[in-house]
Structure 1
Amino acid sequence: MRRKIPSTSALVSFESAARHESFTKAAQELSLTQSAICRQIASLEDFLGVELFKRSRRGVKITDAGLSYSRRVALQLDAVERDTLSIMGQQGSSVIELAVVPTFGTQWLLPRLKDFQMRHPEVTLNLTNRTRPFLFADTDFDAAIYFGDADWPGTRAYRLMSENPMPVCAPAFLNGQDRLDAEQIALLPLLQQTTRPYAWRQWFNDCQVQVPRDMTGPRYELFSMLAQAAIHEMGVALIPPFLIQRELEEGRLVIANSHALTSLKAYHLMIPERKTATVSLQTFGNWLVEQAQRFKLPHDKA
């Protein structure tokens, strides 16, 4: 079926003229004559059956319909340009579009990616934040790193590591002590994580302490947000130490209690079944699992 799409040259001319609200400036930008711009836009208006500009002796003024259409066209042209530059830049290399949970991506994965680049310069890895599972068929992602139980239909899971969060806080909260027991922590503001709503309850249960307010307190979606809130003395947070190594080394955060919360859930690399034979994904997956195995956590039950 033939698509009902205007010519690309007409859309480019229109977007430029709409942005400048001037046929003359659009002609200068595109190295065309003003009459060529006029013809392109007139043909687009005929195609659409909609007036995009009001013409007068003093110039042109974009209509409401033209303004609305120009915004949509600009977004689509930007997307086409990005895709074009991306494919031009590949020059025979393989590209992996990876969805990754944000803090894990920035704090653990990115510091190790130089090693992958050096070993496999033929593979380009693009990272995009995603905090929850999605349908691969509805996206351009080739794989994902997420935290959960690996129950993701249509995918193959590669286990990386557990989380093992511990209570952390600003040094001032210790008040000169080396550590705080569970009862002392229960008296402090508890910073909650949106995606781990029962974490504090589970931690206190492990310590055999009943805390009525274990699910109260401000909620944040990302570990990086929890860390910043804890640094600014807003409360105590349950965070995996490997995600805040720099903050711990610099003394901005301290471990309030070394009891780690264990869980059956873990970080996994998820690859759609239909892509498991892709060479670049196999290469990345093998490297990632190797990196995770090298990184030993003291409380990891894997």
Structure 2
Amino acid sequence: MTKLPPLNALRAFEAAARHLSFKRAADELHVTQAAISHQVKQLEEHLHLPLFERSARGVKLTEAGRALLPVLSDAFDSILQTVEGLGATRSGGALLVSLRPYFAAKWLAPRLARFWQAWPQIALRLHHTTRPASFRGEEIDVAIWWGDGGWPGVETERLLPCDLTAVCSPDLLQGPYPLNSPWALRWHTLLHEETDENWRRWLSAAGVPDLKPRKQLFIDDTNVRLEAAIKGQGIALTGRELVADELAARRLVAPFDTSLGGFAYYLVYPKGALSRPAVRAFRDWIFAEAQADRGETSAAVPATDSARPKPAPPTSTKAKRWPA
């Protein structure tokens, strides 16, 4: 009989492959990055196959790595669900939801009173993070992620569209360098999150791919980034849905028509999670709230493979997955 690889090596590979990052895998498993690298190398030696292609820009999966990842993810998810089912303390009404601070403050928080009124027996806890949550090791039950919906090993349902639009203070529409065309951005400051990827793709979509702005600031907290935009300190990218109040009050304006489409906020949870009453209740409630925003009155869409909303195809090149 073929001997199975060490469990720690399998766990290290699965986490690194899911994040495409040894560092994030190390953070998730609470070990060092060197330990992850060692475990992955041990697994590759056991299989006599490379699982990652390594370069100065990062890592990507080989064909063997792509074949192994979903098998391991499904296996670990199955183990996790079984263990959770055995734990009486988590089979009841406690629910931990992972999401970005800005989305929590702007969209979810104003609606929470209605959830507590409808489901007083569910102890809802919000876990704020700027990183995609792990459903292993953090006891996360359900998450709200932004992106194109293409995440392996989890169930995803499209909750709210959120295309990226440039916004700024109305003061920047005047002055010596008014924002009357995308070219005018070369005289201004672009406000980035962790990288400049979103802005580079937006500029390309706007027809000015070679534009060099006067200055660039990197602010990973969306609350701070948009406050800087409101104060006239630069131009930010965000979803119109999240700044509707600011646009209506003209604390912010959207000077250009260009946006990066095909992205949305998704409800994300492990396979089989809807068998838990608390997860099902939160899922149905949040979709009812999203439908109410769109003026729809029908009941929440049943969470089945045939009825689940499918991710819309991007209308432009993919952007970074975590802007808000």
Distance 2:199 2:178 in 1: 21
Partner of 2:216: 217
- Aligned twin of 2:271: 273
User: Which residue of the other structure, out of 293, 298, 308, is the alignment partner of 1:295?
Assistant: 293
Listed one character per residue, the Cα deviations across residues 146-199 of structure 1 (whole Å, up to 9, x for unaligned) are 11233444421111122212211112111189963212234321111216x322
Deviations 1:86-134 (A, max 9, x none): x99x9x9712111111111110111122222222222232111122224
Which consecutive aligned stretches of 4+ in structure 1 deviate over 6 angstroms post-superposition?
176-179
SS at match of 2:115: helix
Residue pair 1:192, 1:217 contacting (<8 A) in 2 also: yes
Residue number in structure 2 paired with 1:121 = 120
Q: What are the residue-to-residue correspondences of 1:1-302 with 2, within 5 Å?
A: 94-175=93-174, 180-194=180-194, 197-213=196-212, 217-263=216-262, 265-296=263-294
Distance in 2 of aligned mates of 1:178 and 1:259 = 17
The offset of 1:139, in angstroms, is 0.9
TM-score by length of 1: 0.61
Shift in Å, 1:274: 4.1
Deviation of the 1:230 alpha carbon: 1.0
Contact 2:188/2:214, CA 8 A, preserved across alignment: no
- 1:138 deviation in Å? 0.5
Moved more, 180-189 or 206-215: 206-215
The structure that has the greater radius of gyration is: 1
Whole-angstrom distance in 2 between the partners of 1:170 and 1:146 = 27
Which digits, 9 at most, give the CA deviation of each residue in 1:65-105, with x for residues without a partner?
xxxxxxxxxxxxxxxxxxxxxx99x9x97121111111111
Q: Deviations over 1:250-273 (max 9, x none)?
A: 33222222332213x321111112
In structure 2, distance between residues paired with 1:178 and 1:219:
23
SS at match of 1:221: coil
Structure 2 Cα separation of the partners of residues 190 and 230 of structure 1: 9
Deviates more, 1:105-114 or 1:153-162: 153-162
For residue 38 of structure 1, what is the aligned residue in structure 2?
Answer: none
Residues 229 and 235 in structure 1, CA contact (< 8 A), matched pair in contact too: yes
> Unpaired segments of 5 or more residues in structure 1?
1-86
Q: 2:188, 2:213 within 8 Å by CA — same for their partners in 1?
A: no
Give the superposition deviation at 1:294.
3.4
Structure 2: runs of 5 or more not aligned:
1-87, 296-310, 314-324
CA distance in 1 between partners of 2:96 and 2:214 (Å): 36
Residues 285, 217 of structure 1: CA spacing in aligned structure 2 closer, same or farther, 3 A cutoff? same
Alignment RMSD, CA only?
Answer: 3.2
Distance 2:274 2:92 in 1: 18
AA at the equivalent of 2:264: A
Q: Check 1:250–1:182 CA distance in 2 against 1; reply closer, same or farther (3 A cut).
A: same
Task: Find the residue that maps to 2:185 and give its secondary structure.
Answer: helix
Give me the whole-angstrom Cα distance separating, in 2, the residues matched to 1:153 and 1:105. Answer: 24
Work out the CA distance in 2 between the residues paired with 1:215 and 1:126.
42
| Aligned mates of 1:175, 1:216 — CA distance in 2 | 19
1:221 shift after superposition: 0.9
